[in-house]
Structure 1
Amino acid sequence: MDAEDGFYERLGEGRFLATEATRGPWDPGSQHAGPPAALLGRAVEERSGARADMRIARITYEILRPVPIGELEVTTSVLRSGRGTEVVEAALAPAGGAPVMVARALRIRVAEEPVPAVLPPAVLPPPGEVGVTPFFPVPWETGYHSSVEARFTEGAFVEPGPGTCWMRMRVPLVAGEEVRPLDRVLVAADSGNGISAVMDFGRFVFVNGDLTVHLHRHPVGEWVCVEARTSVDAAGIGLADSLLHDEKGPIGRGAQSLYVAGR
C-alpha cells in the first residue's frame, strides 16, 4: 500500500470513494466501521459554517446496515444550535442510496479562559515498549487490518477476554489530506469489540449495531489506545466498553451494543 493512499479518495463536495484500506475482516465487500465513523466525524467538524470555538464531546453512531466499499455521499445538518452547545447530524449513504450509517454529535464550546484541569495520569506502557501484534488471519491482503498498526499491552486479537491495544493509522483518512486528532480516535474506537472478544468468531457472531464515543480531551500524537472489556448476557445482548487513551493519559470512553448469536 502506497503511503499516499488513504481510506478514502475525495471526489467532490460531500462525495468520497472508499478504498480497499477500509475493508473489514468479515466481508470483502464491506468496510470496517472505524473509517466511516471517522469520515462522519470529520464531516461534522468541517461542514459549512462550523464554529471553530466548538469541539466534539460526544458522538453516537447508528450502524443501519453494512457500509459498502464504493462511492459514498456524506450529508450534515444542525439539529440544535446554542451559545454553549450544538447537536449536528451526519449521514453516510452509497451514491444515490439510503443512509447506511448515521451519527449525532454533541459539540461543546471551548472555554475562552482555561479552567482547572482534572485529568488522570497515564498508567499504560507506552507503545514503544511493546511489539507489533499480528491481526487474526484475514483471507485478503489489504484492508483495515493492514492499514492500522496494533500493539497489545494486554491480550491479543486471537486471545479471548479483555484487551488493551495501542493503534496507529498507517494511511490518512482521506488520501493527500492531513490526519487530524479526531480521525485517529474514531478509526480506532470501533475496534473495542474485536480487541476484547470473549467468544470464538468461528462459532458466534457478536456484531455491534452502534458506537458511542465520549471525549473530554482530544488526543495528541499518533497513537490511540483502546482498553476494552466485553460483557454478554445469556439473552444474546452484549456490551463492549472501552477506555480511550493517548500517551499522555485517558481521553475518553467508547461503548458498543452487541448482537450475539450462534452461527
Structure 2
Amino acid sequence: MGTGEGFFERRDAGRFAATEYTRGPWDAGSQHAGPPAALLGRAVEERPGARTDMRIARITYEILRPVPIGELEVTTGVLRSGRSTEVVEAAIGPVGAAPVMLARALRIRVAEESVPAVVSGPQLPAPGEVEVTPFFPVPWETGYHSAMETRFTEGAFVEPGPGTCWMRMKVPLIAGEETRPLDRVLIAADSGNGISAVMDFGRYVFVNSDLTVHLHRHPVGEWACVQARTHVDAAGIGLADAQLHDEKGPIGRSAQSLYVAPR
C-alpha cells in the first residue's frame, strides 16, 4: 500500500483505500483509530440527503476490531429523523466483510445567534507559542505519528500523567479533497489515552474500544487540542477524559473506555 497524499484515497461512492499514514503505533497492519473516526464523521455529514441546517453534537464510536490498512467500505443510515434532531449510523469495514468500527451520531438543528453564547473554560497557550513535541518511538517510519504535528503545552507522550497537546494534520483526510475542521478534531480525539497515559507504555497496554466526542461549538482552524487526564482502577478499567479546544477556546469533550493490563 502506497503512502499517497492523504490518510485515505477515494475509490468510488463509499469505498476508500487506507494509506500508510493511517498506520497506528502498535501493529503494522492496523490503523490508528483517529483516521477512520474522522472518515466516519465525514460520511455522516456527506450522506445523501443530509440536512445542511444540522451539525454533529455527539458521535460515539464502537471499535469492534482493529481497522485494517487496505480497501474499505463505508455505509450510512438514518436511525431517527425529527424536526430538530436526527440520529445517523455509519460503519466501516473491509469490502464485502463485516464492519470493524461503528459510529452513531446525534445531529442537532442550528440557528445562528438564536440564543446567547455562553463560554467557559481555560484559554490555552496557542500552538505557535510552544515547540514541536516528538511522538514516542514507533518501529516504522510512516504512520499516524508521521502525518500529525504535535505540540504539548503540558506533559509529553513519554511522560506519565495528564497532558495537553495541540495537533495538526500534515496531509488531508482524503487525498485531493479539502480538509474540514471537523476532520481535524475527530482525527485527534482518539489520542487522549496516549497523551495522558499514567503508566509506562512498555509495561502496560491501554486499549480503548470506544470513543465519544461531544461538540457544543463547531471547530474552526487547522489546530485541535486534546487536554486529557486518565483514571485507572486496580481492576484494569480506565477512562481517558479530555476537554477539546480550537484556537478560539473550548469546543467540547471526548471520553474513551480503557482496558489496562500488563504486557
Q: Same fold (TM over 0.5)?
A: yes
* 8 Å Cα contact 1:212/1:255 also seen in 2: yes
Match of 2:183 in 1: 183
Query: Comparing 194-203 with 54-63, which one deviates more in the overlay?
Result: 194-203
Q: What per-residue deviation string (whole Å, max 9, x for no partner) do you get for residues 123-174 of structure 1?
A: 1100000000000111111000000000000000000000000000000000
Q: Does 2:140 correspond to 1:140?
A: yes
Match of 2:243 in 1: 243
The number of equivalent residue pairs is 262
Identity %: 83
Q: What per-residue deviation string (whole Å, max 9, x for no partner) do you get for residues 191-230 of structure 1?
A: 0000001111111111000000000011111110000000
* 8 Å Cα contact 1:122/1:248 also seen in 2: no
Q: Gaps spanning 5+ residues in structure 2: where?
A: none
Alignment of structure 1 residues 89-104 onto 2, 5 Å: 89-104=89-104
* CA-CA distance at 1:121 after TM superposition: 5.8
CA distance in 2, matches of 1:258, 1:78: 29
The root-mean-square deviation of aligned C-alpha atoms, in Å, is: 1.3
Match of 1:36 in 2: 36
Give the counterpart letter for 1:179 in structure 2: T
Give the counterpart letter for 1:41 in structure 2: G
CA distance in 2, matches of 1:205, 1:105: 28
Q: Secondary structure at the match of 1:165?
A: strand
CA distance in 1, matches of 2:28, 2:136: 15
* CA-CA distance at 1:114 after TM superposition: 2.7
Give runs of ≥4 in structure 1 deviating > 4 Å.
none
Q: Gaps spanning 5+ residues in structure 1: where?
A: none
- TM-score, scaled relative to structure 2: 0.97
CA distance in 2, matches of 1:121, 1:259: 29
* 8 Å Cα contact 2:22/2:32 also seen in 1: yes
Match of 2:63 in 1: 63
Q: Secondary structure at the match of 1:145?
A: helix
